[in-house]
Structure formats: structure tokens, C-alpha cells
Amino acid sequence: MRFYQTSLGKKVVMAVTGAVMFGFLVTHCAGNLQVFEGAEKMNDYAVLLRKFGAALWIARLVLLVSVVLHIVAAIQLTKLNSDARPVAYVRKESVQASYASRTMMWSGPIILAFLIYHLLHMTFGTVHPDFQELHPYENVVTGFQVPVVSIAYIVAMLMLGFHLYHGAWSMFQTLGVNHPRYTPILKRASAIVTVLLIAGFISVPLAVMTGVVS
């Protein structure tokens, strides 16, 4: 607990929980891309997941705890940084900070708000126009046929991309993987992985809106 009270401790918690959430995003994106294989394939995948029972709920619990810890650590870390300098800079220069790093505290709450809506939309179906249990293919198609929803989803994914890009390579830095030779490589790798992942997510609503998936 003493370690967690330090700024390094909170950064480590954010790095580890961020890795957990990244793993979820990869598997979730892979599941989403099954929409291109047709209704039967994607719906069978949803049925298969339900068969895992307790294991599925354990995975969900780990993910939920990771999200909560990530948010709490981010808020506390921001407060620590603010308390360390109670008097603001007369002129603040973001010399080496990227756009992604400067918007981390803004993209985080936006992504959280979207996540809540996305769960209500595609998981619980409470705000879905025609939700069908264990029919994710039909839910995706009818859900993304609403232009406002698709546009909001795409914007949220772009914000997630900025958040993920900065978080991915800074995770290695927090855990001690920091070297003049390797850090640029990690940054490029983070950028490539982020682009591929976000492109995968965005391809689904775009496919529905353009009629590729119907």
C-alpha cells in the first residue's frame, strides 16, 4: 500500500491494468471482425462464449476491476501532480509532449462515457432499436444503421486510438523498458498496433453504413 501511495506505484497500476484492457480490446476486435464472415459465424461465437460460464464471469470481473483501478489511479496521479505544483506555470510549453499525451485526461472520460453507452447498446440492449439476445450480427447491423450511432462510435474509437497509443509505449517506460535505441522502436510499434486495432473497430460501422455488411 505504501508503494501504491507513490506516483510510481500508481503508474505501475495504470500500466498493468492498461495491459489487461489492451488484451481485451484485441480479443474484442477479433470477435467484432467476424461480422464479415456472416451471421451464422458471429452468432455461433456468441453462443460459444456463453458456454464458458464461470470463466467468462471471472474474465469480466478482472476487466471491471482493471477499469476501476485504472481510473482511480489516473485521478489520484493527476491530483499528486497538481499538489506538487499548486501555482500554475505563467507560460506552459508542451515541448516534447505529443497530442495523445496532452489529451489523456480528456480522452479517458470520453471513452468511459462511450463504454457505458456501448454496453447499454450492444450488451444489455436497453438503448438498442431492435435488440436480439445471442444475435450479435443482427444487433450490429441494426445498431449501426443509425448514422448518429455509427459516427459517435467512430469518433470514440479515434479517441481510444490517441489514448491507446500514448498508454502503450508509456507502459513499457513505466515498467523500466526505456532505452534510447529501443524506445523509438516501441513508439513505432505502438503506433502500428494502435492503427490496426482502431481500423479494425471502425471497419465494422463503416461496412454497415456502406452496405458491405447487411
Asked whether residue 1 is domain-assigned, the answer is no
Asked whether residue 78 is domain-assigned, the answer is yes
Asked whether residue 30 is domain-assigned, the answer is yes
What are 95-122's pLDDT values in tens digits?
444 544 556 667 788 888 999 999 999 9
Q: Can you give the pLDDT at residue 85?
A: 63
Which CATH number is 35's domain given? 1.20.1300
Asked whether residue 64 is domain-assigned, the answer is yes
**Number of independent structural domains in the chain:** 1
Contact assessment for residue 108 and residue 71, using Cβ atoms and an 8 Å cutoff: yes
Asked whether residue 2 is domain-assigned, the answer is no
This prediction's pTM: 0.86
What are 9-32's pLDDT values in tens digits?
888 899 899 999 999 999 999 999
Percent of the chain with pLDDT over 90: 59
Q: Give the range of the structural domain holding residue 103, as residue numbers without chain letter.
A: 7-210
